[in-house]
Chains A and B, each alone.
Chain A
């Protein structure tokens, strides 16, 4: 993942994180977008699972919290690339 691609994932994952915190229905589409943007990177598996979870049961609190955890993992993986760490 180059830094431009990573920055795109950072932006989408950070928006999705706040949408999940705010229990906003836009979290689902944002996670789907972030998952596609992260395809093939270490951030992709947690984002894909978070998107799948939220799509399946967006109203469940346990789902929201698990999706938050996965989204933060992906966010930090993408941020690491922006900050210049080896992937």
Chain B
């Protein structure tokens, strides 16, 4: 056993962990979700690189974790490492390189700060093979409904890209913010991360009339997920802040509580995201 719960098993063992007990709990968590047939599982939310807060994940460790947990493919974008010029150029290139090294397994999204000039960064990411955009209003300090963010979401939408937004931890209310963004870019395809737990009830109400707005399950709150229509939910792990077994367990518990049928579970695990981002295998 090289890895367990997304961690290096040797490190956990050296810390005194009962690796056999952890492996059994990981397997129990995985079994919580009944995967219909051969439904491919696609992870909508992975950070690659070394974040300013110290969390880190390499492409090689990600693929090892995916293999261990039956994850077919993952959308990956840079951790919060904007670089000296603040435009994520090097980090975006590293994620694009990871996608090239693992075709069909890693799907590159680029990351930007809307307050910085973004045309060059979007062009470079497009040329490198990026297929979507990740924005983090808390880390980069901007408002989703602000002019700069609206401009970058409009540009991404014009390129046919979905945009994944951090919508978890943060102080600001989010319902009116995303309603404002969607009034200006109504055809935007948005993925609101963490089930929108930063302001879930307001976000669910504000986006109910926009079927192109999805919510990912990464580190989401169970009461939030079970009140959403399953066709609006996509599986996400938030690696390296979360792990795949726990993320699969959350989907299994949500399916049990909400009474999702096999078609709904298939959609949450990958079908809904595939409709949003297009074919996974290039």
User: Which of A's residues lie within 8 Å of B, judged by CB?
Assistant: 45-46, 49, 52-53, 56-57, 60-63, 65-66, 68-70, 72-73, 75-77, 79-80, 83-86
Q: Is the CB of A63 within 8 A of B17?
A: yes
The 7 closest A-B pairs by CB, nearest first: A57-B15, A56-B16, A85-B257, A62-B7, A69-B246, A62-B11, A60-B15
Residues of B within 8 A of A65 (CB): 5-7, 240, 243
Interface string of B1-33 (1 = CB under 8 A from A): 000111110011001111001100100110000
Interface string of B223-252 (1 = CB under 8 A from A): 100100000000000001011011001100
Q: Is the CB of B256 within 8 A of A80?
A: yes
Residues of B within 8 A of A46 (CB): 25, 29
Bound-state Cα–Cα, A72 to B29, Å:
11
- Interface CB pairs A-B, < 8 A, 13: A49-B21, A56-B16, A57-B15, A60-B11, A61-B54, A63-B15, A65-B5, A66-B6, A72-B219, A72-B246, A75-B222, A83-B222, A85-B253
User: Which residue of chain A has the shortest Cβ distance to B244 in the bound complex?
Assistant: A69
Query: Looking at B8, B17, B250, which has the most chain A CB atoms within 10 Å of its CB?
Result: B17
Residues of B within 8 A of A79 (CB): 222-223, 253
Residues of A within 8 A of B250 (CB): 72, 76
Residues of A within 8 A of B8 (CB): 62
Residues of B within 8 A of A49 (CB): 18, 21-22, 25
Bound-state Cα–Cα, A14 to B16, Å:
25
Q: Is the CB of B253 within 8 A of A69?
A: no
Bound-state Cα–Cα, A53 to B223, Å:
28
Other contacts beyond A53-B15, A62-B8, A80-B256: 10, CB < 8 A: A53-B17, A56-B17, A62-B7, A65-B240, A65-B243, A72-B242, A77-B253, A80-B253, A85-B253, A86-B256
Q: Is the CB of A62 within 8 A of B256?
A: no
Chain B interface bracket (under 10, 10 to 19, 20 to 34, 35 or more): 20 to 34
Bound-state Cα–Cα, A83 to B253, Å:
11
Residues of B within 8 A of A52 (CB): 18
Residues of A within 8 A of B242 (CB): 68-69, 72
User: Which residue of chain A has the shortest Cβ distance to B243 in the bound complex?
Assistant: A69
Q: Is the CB of B12 within 8 A of A83?
A: no
Bound-state Cα–Cα, A81 to B257, Å:
9
The residue that A57 contacts in the complex, of B7, B16, B223, B249, with Cβ under 8 A, is B16
The residue that A66 contacts in the complex, of B12, B219, B253, with Cβ under 8 A, is B12
Q: Is the CB of B257 within 8 A of A66?
A: no
Q: Is the CB of B256 within 8 A of A66?
A: no
**Closest CB in chain B relative to A54 CB, distance in Å:** 10
Residues of B within 8 A of A61 (CB): 54
Bound-state Cα–Cα, A80 to B223, Å:
9
Query: Looking at A53, A73, A80, which has the most chain B CB atoms within 10 Å of its CB?
Result: A73
Bound-state Cα–Cα, A79 to B249, Å:
13
